[in-house]
C-alpha cells in the first residue's frame, strides 16, 4: 500500500484507519524497525479486542523475528497489562490498540524495557524515518540469518497479583461495584483482578467487541457514562467505574451516580501513596486542580507541575524519582508500576479508601474536590497563534495576574486560573478554567472564550 506515515505516526504512538491508512504489511515493517532502533534481541507483544488487532500484532511479531528478535506474544491484554509484561520481563513492548477511537482505527503503543515510553523524541521519529526509507527504497536484507523464535505466554494472573500486592485491601468492607468496560479490555482484566475482593461486581458491557456496540469506550465524554450512572443508582451501588477501550484509564462515579473528577482521584491516590512513601514527590500536569498540589503538600509531599502528556509525566517521574503522577485525562502513573499508567491500580486505591471507612464515596472525595472547573472547552480557530497572543495581551499586566507558557498559556490569580493550549492535530484551542466558585469560573471562562472566538 501507499502509506503517508505523517498521518499515522503521532506524538506518542501509531494510530490510523485499517486498512485505508495502514495494514499488516506496514505493521511488519514497524516490527522490523522497532527492533532495529531499540537494538532489542527480544520483545513482548499484546493486543486489544479490535477485529484487526490479532493480525496486525502477528505481522509486527513476524517483522521483529525477521530481524533476529525473539517475540513473546501475550495475546489479549489491556495496555497496562502490556506495561506489566514489559516491566516484569524487562523487555521492550508493543501494544496494538487505538484506545477509545472508533472500530475502524487501530494503533501501536511502544515502550522500551521496563515500560519506558517511546515517543517522537525517544525513538518513534527514528522508527518512522526507517519505515519511510524502506517503503521508498525497499527493505534491506535482514542483518541475521537466524530468525527469532515465537513463544506465547499468559500474563493476566501475574498482572492481577502484582496490582493486588501494591494496595492494602485487608481492611476493606464489602462493596457493591458497577463496572462499565465499554466492550473493551476491562471486560478481560476486571474479573481476574476483582475475584478475590469482597466485592459484589455488577458488570456492564464486558463482552469483548471492538465494534463498540453500546457506546464509545471513552469515559471522559459524559455521554458515555450515562448508562453507568443510571445503573449505579438503580442497583444502589457504592460506586461505579468505567474503563476506556484499552483499560489504561478509569473514571469513577459515586453512589449518587455523580462523576468524580480525575483531579480528585489524583489527590486521593496521592495522599495514600504518600502514606506509604513519606516525603515523596508527586507529578501533576498543569490542568489538574489546585486541590492536587494542596493535598500533596498537606500530606508532606512535594508536588511537581509538568506539561500535559504521558511522555512528560513519565520523564519527570524518572528524573525526580516521583512515587505517583496524575493527569486530568484520568491517566494515573505509579513508581511501583515502572512509572507506567494503570487505571486498574487507581481503581483499587479508590476501593481500598472507600472500604476502610463507613461513609459514602461522595463524602470521602469531598475533601479532595475543592474548586469548580469548566472541563475542557474546545474552540475551532483559523489562527491558533494569533488567538493565543490576543488572550495573552488581554490579561498580561493586570494587577494580581501571573502568566506562564510551560504548555500553552496559563493565567492565574488568587481566585481563578485558566490554561489555553493549541491542539497538535486539529485547528483547535483547548480551554480549562478553575475557580473558587461557579460564578467566578463562568465569568473567567466566558471572557476567554469571547477573546478566542472573537465574539
Set of cell numbers at residue 65? 523475528
Set of cell numbers at residue 179? 463496572
Nearest to 43 by CA among 23, 63, 29: 63
How many helices and strands (H and E) does the chain possess?
Answer: 15, 22
Which of the following is catalytic: 53, 57, 86, 99?
99
Place of cell 524502506: 134
Q: Where are the alpha helices (DSSP H) in 331-378?
A: 343-355, 361-366
- 86 in catalytic set: no
- State the DSSP string of 239-271: EEEEE-TTSS-EEEE-TTS-EE-HHHHHHHHHH
> How many Cα atoms within 13 Å fall on the side-chain side of residue 153?
18
Beta-sheet pairing, 324-326 with 281-285: parallel
Sign of the torsion angle spanned by Cα atoms 207, 210, 214, 220: positive
Set of cell numbers at residue 273? 501513596
Question: How far apart, in whole angstroms, are the C-alpha atoms of residue 342 and residue 189?
Answer: 12
Contacts of 340 (CB under 8 A, 6+ apart): 80, 83, 87, 111, 115, 314, 333, 334
Cis, peptide link before residue 408, omega less than 30° from 0: no
Question: How far apart, in whole angstroms, are the C-alpha atoms of residue 196 and residue 207?
Answer: 21
Helix or strand holding residue 159 (H, E)? helix 156-165
Question: How far apart, in whole angstroms, are the C-alpha atoms of residue 381 and residue 402?
Answer: 25
225-230 contacts at long range (C-beta below 8 A, 24 or more positions apart): 225/180, 225/251, 225/253, 225/259, 227/180, 228/178, 228/180, 228/204, 228/253, 228/257, 229/253, 229/257, 229/258, 229/259, 230/257
Residue 442: CB atoms within 10 Å: 14
Residue 162: CB atoms within 10 Å: 18
Catalytic sites, residue numbers:
99
Amino acid at each position: 500500500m501507499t502509506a503517508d506515515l505523517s498521518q499515522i505516526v503521532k506524538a506518542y504512538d501509531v494510530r490510523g484507519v485499517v486498512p485505508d491508512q495502514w495494514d499488516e504489511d506496514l505493521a511488519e515493517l514497524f516490527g522490523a524497525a522497532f527492533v532495529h532502533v531499540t537494538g532489542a534481541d527480544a520483545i513482548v507483544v499484546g493486543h486489544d479486542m479490535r477485529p484487526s488487532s490479532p493480525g496486525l500484532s502477528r505481522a509486527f511479531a513476524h517483522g521483529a523475528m525477521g530481524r533476529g528478535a525473539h517475540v513473546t506474544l501475550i495475546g489479549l491484554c489491556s495496555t497496562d497489562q502490556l506495561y506489566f509484561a514489559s516491566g516484569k520481563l524487562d523487555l521492550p513492548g508493543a501494544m496494538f490498540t487505538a484506545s477509545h477511537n472508533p472500530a475502524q482505527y487501530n494503533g501501536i503503543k511502544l515502550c522500551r524495557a521496563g515500560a519506558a515510553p517511546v515517543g517522537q523524541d525517544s525513538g518513534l521519529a527514528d522508527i518512522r524515518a526507517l519505515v519511510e526509507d524502506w517503503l521508498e527504497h525497499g527493505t534491506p536484507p535482514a542483518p541475521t540469518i537466524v530468525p527469532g523464535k515465537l513463544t506465547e505466554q499468559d500474563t493476566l494472573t501475574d498482572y492481577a497479583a502484582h496490582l493486588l500486592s501494591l494496595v492494602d485491601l485487608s481492611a476493606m468492607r464489602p462493596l457493591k461495584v458497577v463496572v462499565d468496560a465499554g466492550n473493551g479490555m476491562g471486560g478481560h482484566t476486571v474479573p481476574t483482578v476483582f475475584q478475590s475482593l469482597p466485592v459484589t461486581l455488577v458488570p456492564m458491557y464486558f463482552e469483548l467487541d471492538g465494534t463498540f456496540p453500546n457506546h464509545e469506550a471513552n469515559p471522559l465524554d459524559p455521554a458515555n457514562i450515562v448508562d453507568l450512572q443510571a445503573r449505579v443508582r438503580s442497583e444502589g451501588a457504592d460506586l461505579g467505574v468505567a474503563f476506556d477501550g484499552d483499560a489504561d484509564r478509569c473514571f469513577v462515579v459515586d453512589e449518587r451516580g455523580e462523576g468524580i473528577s480525575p483531579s480528585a482521584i489524583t489527590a486521593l491516590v496521592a495522599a495514600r501513596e504518600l502514606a506509604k512513601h513519606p516525603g515523596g514527590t508527586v507529578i501533576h500536569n498543569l490542568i489538574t486542580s489546585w486541590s492536587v498540589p494542596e493535598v500533596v503538600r498537606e500530606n508532606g509531599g512535594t508536588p511537581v507541575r509538568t506539561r500535559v502528556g504521558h511522555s512528560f509525566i513519565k520523564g519527570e517521574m524518572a528524573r525526580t524519582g516521583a512515587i505517583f503522577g496524575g493527569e486530568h485525562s484520568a491517566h494515573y502513573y505509579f513508581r511501583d508500576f515502572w512509572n507506567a499508567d494503570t487505571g486498574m491500580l487507581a481503581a483499587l486505591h479508590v476501593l481500598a479508601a472507600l472500604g476502610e471507612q463507613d461513609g459514602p464515596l461522595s463524602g470521602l472525595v469531598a475533601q479532595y474536590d475543592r474548586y469548580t472547573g469548566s472541563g475542557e472547552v474546545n474552540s475551532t480557530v483559523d489562527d491558533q497563534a494569533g488567538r493565543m497572543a490576543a488572550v495573552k495581551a488581554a490579561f498580561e499586566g493586570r494587577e494580581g495576574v501571573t502568566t506562564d507558557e510551560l504548555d500553552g498559556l496559563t493565567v492565574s490569580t488568587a481566585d481563578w486560573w485558566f490554561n489555553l493550549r493549541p491542539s497538535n492535530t486539529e485547528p483547535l484551542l483547548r480551554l480549562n478554567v478553575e475557580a473558587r466558585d461557579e460564578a467566578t469560573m463562568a465569568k473567567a471562562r466566558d471572557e476567554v472564550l469571547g477573546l478566542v472566538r472573537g465574539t
